[in-house]
Amino acid sequence: MLVQLSYRGVKVRCPNSGQFDGDDKFTGTESYQVDGTLDGERIRLSLGTEEKSVAVRRVSKLERAVAEGSSSPLWLELSETLPRKAFSLFADRVGYLGR
């Protein structure tokens, strides 16, 4: 399975907030996403963190878990730390069943 992942920061918006007269405004914080390809398919999903160091670790563990396959011990940890949508996409691709 070919995997090429990185992280990227995304400015967080406050959608349709009454305090901003109904306009979307940036909150000043940044959230991180996993960005890359998995078997040639474009992937861009939330990593569930606003801390760069956590994003770096999660992407590194994702790459390693995908490379090791469904038997990787990292899947248990990733299931507890990644948002459900991101975890499910990667776990399903490698055939991880221990959820």
User: Residues 5-21: pLDDT tens digits?
Assistant: 999 998 877 665 556 55
What residues make up the domain containing 50? 3-94
Residue 34 belongs to a domain: yes
Of 3 and 59, the structure prediction assigns the larger pLDDT to 59
Please give the share of the chain, as a percent, with pLDDT higher than 70. 83
Residue 90 belongs to a domain: yes
Please give the share of the chain, as a percent, with pLDDT higher than 90. 69
d(CA 91, CA 40): 17
* Report field, pTM of the whole predicted structure over 0.85: no
For the chain, how many structural domains are there in total?
1
Residue 99 belongs to a domain: no
